[in-house]
């Protein structure tokens, strides 16, 4: 089945099961492995993110409005971070591969071939405030044996909790910014 036929089938059943909207989309990925925590933080700052979250050994936090903080000595080493640049539709992810080694991934939406399906999902951000969501664009890629599988989740920023969202929130869907 072609990606277009798969999407058409999904759209027919998604309303029955209250699934998120999905679209055919393009995205490119730039990956750098083996960065030191210091070089990874430098890359995050040069990215000039609008908002995001980060976790060091002894400190986790979030920021908005381009207000990336300066790390403090007692925070320890950088472990993970996710940030978003809405102007350029880019998401940057930092993940610890092993202690002292970090993988940087930059996902740029709207570039490359349209070979992915994408949907938007959100998780309640309990570390930051109890009134905001962590928003992600989830990219699905076709596998010949398994069908469409989640390939990558790109952080898309925070959004304000509204009454309808609060009614949908359940303890099973809550997440802390540390758990990503």
What is the C-alpha to C-alpha distance for residues 29 and 25, in angstroms, rounded to an integer?
Answer: 13
Contact by Cβ (8 Å): 105, 30: yes
Residue-wise pLDDT for 25-66, tens only, equals 999 999 999 999 999 999 999 999 999 999 999 999 889 888
User: pTM of the entire structure?
Assistant: 0.83
CA distance 112 to 124: 31
Question: Cα 25 to the chain's mean position, in Å?
Answer: 16
Question: Cα–Cα distance between 103 and 163 in angstroms, integer?
Answer: 37
Q: Write down the pLDDT at residue 99.
A: 81
List, for residues 130-158, the tens digit of each pLDDT value. Answer: 458 899 999 999 999 999 999 999 999 98
Residue 68's pLDDT band (cuts 50, 70, 90) = very high
Q: Which residues pair with 80 in a beta bridge?
A: 55
∠ CA 26-144-111, nearest 5°, is 10
């Amino acid at each position: 089945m072609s990606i277009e036929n798969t999407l058409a089938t999904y759209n027919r059943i998604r309303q029955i099961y209250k699934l998120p909207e999905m679209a055919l989309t393009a995205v490119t990925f730039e990956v750098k492995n083996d960065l030191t925590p210091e070089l990874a933080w430098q890359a995050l700052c040069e990215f000039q993110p609008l908002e995001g979250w980060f976790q060091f050994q002894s400190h986790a936090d979030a920021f908005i409005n381009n207000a990336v903080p300066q790390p403090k000595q007692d925070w320890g080493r950088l472990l993970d971070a996710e940030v978003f640049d809405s102007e350029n539709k880019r998401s940057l992810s930092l993940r610890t591969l092993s202690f002292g080694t970090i993988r940087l991934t930059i996902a740029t939406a709207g570039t490359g071939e349209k070979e992915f399906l994408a949907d938007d999902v959100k998780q309640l951000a309990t570390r930051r405030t109890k009134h905001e969501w962590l928003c992600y664009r989830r990219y699905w890629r076709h596998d010949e044996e398994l069908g469409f599988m989640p390939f990558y989740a790109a952080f898309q920023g925070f959004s304000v909790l509204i009454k309808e969202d609060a009614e949908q929130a359940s303890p099973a869907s809550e997440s802390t910014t540390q758990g990503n």
